[in-house]
A and B are shown apart, each in its own frame.
Chain A
């Protein structure tokens, strides 16, 4: 029903855009519409939505049915948007997205390379609904899969569909989801539990956050379908404490689902009961590990336990438990609706369907993207991501966060696929993809991750606690100029112990950043150890910046922006850095368009 005088304005209120004051844009547009009494001529609904994905260019505002998308919108643009676009249907050119690959502006975000190359399944509703209003989810086929399951299917039929789909756990381990459900269903034990792991802790990853904030209904529906299939009546959604908006929106969605009869007792009159409780995390990355998460739900410290007996057999309070990641749950309703065969028609032999990645770091189009499995990494970084900021040189991309490894330039043609990435000493992980350029020191990256893990490890077992401690010590020494011959061998010796003998996967995967950076960037380690020099100019003790006078144009931008007043030079003349005053912050390099500032 396309009525020309009815419009919907979608204002992104995901955490990324909120940080850029999108709430002021939302309020601004709403108030302007009221002020001008616009609803008399054009019935306008303004929806706050979840994350659209292109966070680099937020706040994002979309107007339908005109299919116009505006980026980097400020509150001061509200008036113009209301009068020009909503009222008169005209496009405001300066607010359109400039696609750096197409080298032109596009009217709708759908025309941009960033969006065109994606295939949104888990992210299907985000940016298109108001997540706090359950009716929006229902309007976009929300809970239709649940209806189908309760009226036409039995437990094993549901599990069969998930097995056929080839869906593998999206939290990182990639365990076949259908197999997990099947195992849990096989135990004739009561009660059983269904858990959602929303403790997304990988620094640089916000896929789960966006789904929990922007489409919480999909997670609820997925869990309810599973509960029916395995025979559970109680579910928990464990949400990281820092994600307050996700907790808020999930609460609203649970309440909304209950009101509509999709959750609670006698769901849709089927006689099936299932309800969900939200549990807040306590600020511990290790609680993203499934057994630690369950300990946390039980009210204890988040210390993992040996997984010799799987959680599907003995999980929460010793009972059969299915634990899956947010993105995994979000895929379930579509798999049921369209069928497992449809899902497995996408992707590769071993990795079916699509995966959401958070493409961040030194890439132009930072944000969330969802692509079919098998997409080459190069396409993600260059075609979708737009390439490296400032057109600097690509160095590596870290995939899988602190549990993953770096992929160097020579491997950029590798497809995103669970097994391919493992073979390359990296890991799919939760989907965090950190792009690094020539101004990233790979030894510092290894040190950074180990520093992170040294605080996040639960500290119970020796290989992890003591191993990480000593590896961190060695790496810190190397970065401070105290590295010595034998350090690399020592790192590899400890890595072997920690990766094989640690109690849980946090410990087992902790050495990965060390192993992969040594494998692909050994020369950088040796430069630090032997020549006491950091080629990337990041390790302060091993860095000295200088200005190449053959290249310097004297634009004076570096001197003006130096926080330590360490640069001298007159306009249009060569500039100089005073090494004694320089604090090695690199601000000058960021400001120089001529690449005149170099590392000695």
Chain B
């Protein structure tokens, strides 16, 4: 059984599981490959355009592969008033990518999220599953270096 088959087997063959199946594909491959979208369209008998519409609507899904390290900066209101915008500016300067983008070498994906629920240690940032709290621009530089990024000038 292919990975795709393993995923769809978990659910009844009903249109209502479209999102759940797509999320599992996303988790498995770090994005939704075109072939899988096409196979899912045939399997569920849902037009490709609908699936493509869903893949571009839901931020949990992506059509391009994510980077090796996913940097998530919290831009929830609590973090915002504790200067998360400054962090995002500095990160943009350092990695030369905007939120939602991945560096050309595939090392880092920079994304924002609204509220990780850790408002007490705002501004909060995650690299993969690890949390960093009360991040200042200086600390940010060290964190990026830790994961093998270039230092900010």
Flag the segment in A298-306, A332-340, A494-502 that touches B: A298-306
Nearest CB on A from B49, distance (A): 11
Q: How far is the CA of A432 from the CA of B57 in the complex (A)?
A: 26
B: which residues have CB within 8 A of A?
A: 14-20, 22-23, 50, 53-54, 57-61, 75-78, 80-83, 86, 89-90, 113-122, 124, 131, 133, 136-138, 141
B77 cross-chain contacts in A, Cβ below 8 A: 203-204, 360-361, 398, 401, 432, 434, 448-449
Residues in B neighbouring A204, C-beta threshold 8 A? 76-78, 115, 119
In the complex, whether A358 has a CB less than 8 A from a CB of chain B is: yes
Check A302 against B118 for contact (C-beta < 8 Å).
Answer: no
B119 to chain A, nearest CB (A): 4
* CB-contacts of A280-332 with B (<8 A): 280-285, 296-302
Q: Do residues A448 and B57 form an inter-chain contact, with CB atoms below 8 A?
A: no
Cβ-defined contact, B114 with A285, below 8 A: yes
Count, A-B residue pairs, CB within 8 A: 146
7 sample A-B contacts, Cβ–Cβ < 8 Å, listed by A number: A16-B119, A19-B121, A55-B121, A58-B120, A561-B136, A585-B90, A587-B137
The interface bits of chain A over 256-296 (1 if a CB of B lies within 8 angstroms of the residue's CB, else 0) are 00000000000000000000000111111100000000001
Give CA–CA (A201, B114) in the complex, Å: 7
Question: Whose C-beta in chain B lies nearest to the C-beta of A389?
Answer: B82
Q: Are B23's CB and A561's CB within 8 A?
A: no
Chain A CB within 10 Å, residue with most, of B18, B50, B83, B118: B118
Known contacts A282-B19, A283-B60, A563-B137; is A448 also within 8 Å of B119 by CB? Answer: no
Min CB distance B87 to A, Å, is 9
Interface residues on A, range: 35 or more
A window 411-469: CB within 8 A of B? 432, 434, 436, 440, 445, 448-449, 452, 458
| B80, A241: Cβ atoms closer than 8 Å | no
- Indicate if the CB atoms of B80 and A203 lie closer than 8 Å: yes
Query: Does A366 lie within 8 Å of B117, measured CB to CB?
Result: no
- Find A299's partner among B17, B59, B81 (CB 8 Å cutoff): B17
| Closest-CB distance, A493 to chain B (whole angstroms) | 26
In this complex, the member of A18, A243, A281, A300 whose beta carbon has the largest number of chain B beta carbons within 10 angstroms is: A300
Given contacts A283-B60, A398-B77, A586-B83, contact A15 B118 (CB under 8 A): yes
Alpha-carbon separation in the docked complex, A481 to B58 (Å): 34
Residues of A with C-beta under 8 A to B15: 298-299
Instruction: Kindly identify which residue among B23, B119, B137 contacts A206, using a CB–CB cutoff of 8 Å.
Output: B119
Which of B14, B60, B138 has a CB less than 8 Å from the CB of A241?
Answer: B60
Please, what's the 1-or-0 string for A189-223, where 1 marks a CB less than 8 Å from any CB in chain B?
00000000000011111100110000000000000
Which of B50, B81, B89, B122 neighbours the largest number of chain A CB atoms within 10 Å of its CB?
A: B81
